[in-house]
Amino acid sequence: MLGDEAVAGAAEAARKHSANRIIDTSSGEDDGLSKCPRCGSTDIQYSFTAQALQCSYCRHTWNEENAEQAFGLDSSIAELRGHTLASGTADIREDLTTVTLKCQGCGAEVVINVEQKLQARCHWCRQTLSINSQIPNGAVPDAVLPFHLTREQAIEQIEAFAGKRKAFAQARFKEEFVPDNVMGVYIPYMVVDGNMHAVLRGSGEVTTRKYTVTTGSGDNKRTETYYDADVYAVQRAFDMLVDDLTIVSAERFNARDNTQATNNILNAVQPYDTENAVAYNSNYLKNFTSERRDLNVRDVDDEVENRFLAIARAKATPTVGRYDRGVRWEEEGVAVRGTRWVSVYVPVWLYSYADSARSEGTLVHYIAVNARNGNTMGSIPVSHPKIFAVACTAGTVAAVLAAVVGFGWFLMG
């Protein structure tokens, strides 16, 4: 943290309001039967056609209320002080793995392994029982951003992505590539708003003269370009509001140096329109898989602050254009006055391929499709001999062209 008075003042204000404020985003419903509001059936699932929940019995469709509006998460970011936490971001209890539900239809007791699923059918009356409360194991978020792209649309995206790269792909990958194996997955993210004051200090250079100096002669002749520049102390200080910063909150997808999987591609398919997320309802998750959140707020807090700093640098860049030789920031910091944290499930179509031909062990390649806007990114196992052959061919062509051009200049001379 910098010693600037403005930063110190903002930090002091944050300390005075350091008590966490909790926003209750629970549905208020008891665990058990989650019923259609029209007919009372529990056979409910998400319909791509209607882009809504649909009762399989009476065909009634509806969506839960927009989460920001329902829970007041759209209030002014400038007024944030201290930490405001939605209840779905509560610290995780690792010991909570099973929940026993009493069926309101017939009275039977059904045990659900909440590490793997949040719904189960009663083995007697066959009604669907749901976990509706925010159990503290990371499986129940504050909000859900429903799927928009269909499975067929995702397959088209994956085929197009892989097709452009098959020229360098391993032969085994091309033989085993089956895009139909795509899975719909809900990935847990923390969505963070921030009110802060940023200060950047460093030095900037402005060119005053450019000139060349020639030394030597003949084959040893060499010309070098030199610059003279004035050096200035540069400082930028400003208030900054950050809206809907998204941080993945599942450890295996958050890792930056994973040598077993290319899961970092998930960040490349952002952004997500999290402002359209709806209040959690377990029926949105039916027929999809979901990754349980296993990172708490404190686990991703440093990454969030680094993102804040990156945003501050980007915001300062347009203001230092006069320093044509560039600016080097030597001190930088943000004083966070207030933050707001919300746990949201975002939708991804995910294709995976295990490359077991590596000497270092199996590497799982992922191709991910943002199920809201279609952004696609991924990796495929490449054939190094093919790349080497292309590089050699390109080098040979370049050498031949250079020889032809040189011979042409010789003839012209």
Q: The whole model's pTM is what?
A: 0.81
157 and 299 inside one domain: yes
Residues 408, 365 within the same domain? no
Do residues 342 and 354 both lie within one domain? yes
The answer to whether 333 and 198 are in contact (CB under 8 A) is yes
Tell me if 253 sits within 8 A of 300, measured CB to CB.
Answer: no
Paired residues of 197 in beta bridges: 239, 335
Structural domain includes residue 211: no
- Can you tell me the distance from the alpha carbon of 187 to that of 199, in angstroms, rounded to the nearest whole number? 34
On whether residue 400 sits in a domain, the answer given is: yes
Could you tell me what percent of the chain has a pLDDT over 90? 54
Q: Is 313 in the same domain as 397?
A: no
Tell me, yes or no, whether 375 lies in a domain. Answer: yes
Q: What is the DSSP string of 295-327?
A: --HHHHHHHHHHHHHHHHHHHHGGGGTT-TT-E
Lowest mean pLDDT among 92-101, 141-150, 171-180, 264-273: 92-101
Is 360 among the domain residues?
Answer: yes
**Which structural domain range is residue 282 located in?**
4-27+64-96+135-200+233-382
Q: Is residue 350 part of a domain?
A: yes
Per-residue pLDDT band for 249 (boundaries 50, 70, 90) equals very high
Identify which of 281, 347, 306 has the alpha carbon closest to the alpha carbon of residue 145.
347
Q: Is residue 267 domain-shared with residue 181, that is, in the same domain?
A: yes
In this prediction, residue 54 has a pLDDT band, given cuts at 50, 70 and 90, of very high
Per-residue exposure over 30-46, b if at least 16 CB sit within 10 Å of its own CB, e if not: ebbbbbbeeeebbbbeb
CA 105 to chain centre: 40
Residue 83 has pLDDT above 50, yes or no: yes
- Statement to judge: residues 350 and 304 lie in one domain: yes
Instruction: Provide the terminal-to-terminal Cα distance of the chain, rounded to the nearest Å.
Output: 66
Q: Say whether both 363 and 397 belong to one domain.
A: no
The two tokens of residue 273 are 């329109």
Query: Residue 288, SS3?
Result: coil
Residue 112 lies in a domain: no
Same domain? 310 vs 388: no
Listed in sequence order, the residues at least 6 apart from 158 whose beta carbon sits closer than 8 Å to its beta carbon are 179, 182, 349, 351, 367, 369, 376, 378
The verdict on residue 102 lying in a domain is: no
- Considering the domain architecture, whether residues 353 and 272 belong to the same structural domain is answered as yes
- How many separate domains does the chain show? 2
**Measuring CA to CA, which residue among 162, 377, 344, 172 is closest to residue 262?**
377
pLDDT of residue 15: 46
Torsion of CA 244, 248, 250, 252, to 10 degrees: 180
State the pLDDT confidence band at 157, using cuts at 50, 70 and 90: very high
Of 53, 99, 27, 101, residue with least CA distance to 287: 53
Q: Are strands 327-355 and 143-144 parallel, antiparallel or unpaired?
A: parallel
3-state class (DSSP) for residue 34: coil
Q: Model confidence over 324-344: pLDDT tens digits? A: 999 999 999 999 999 999 999
H/E/C letters for each residue in 88-154?
HHCCCCCCCCEEEEECCCCCCEEEEECCCCCEEECCCCCCEEECCCCCCCCCCCCEECCCCCCHHHH
State whether 395 and 287 are in the same domain.
no
**237 and 315 co-located in one domain:** yes
**Are 294 and 387 members of one domain?**
no
In a domain, 259, yes or no: yes
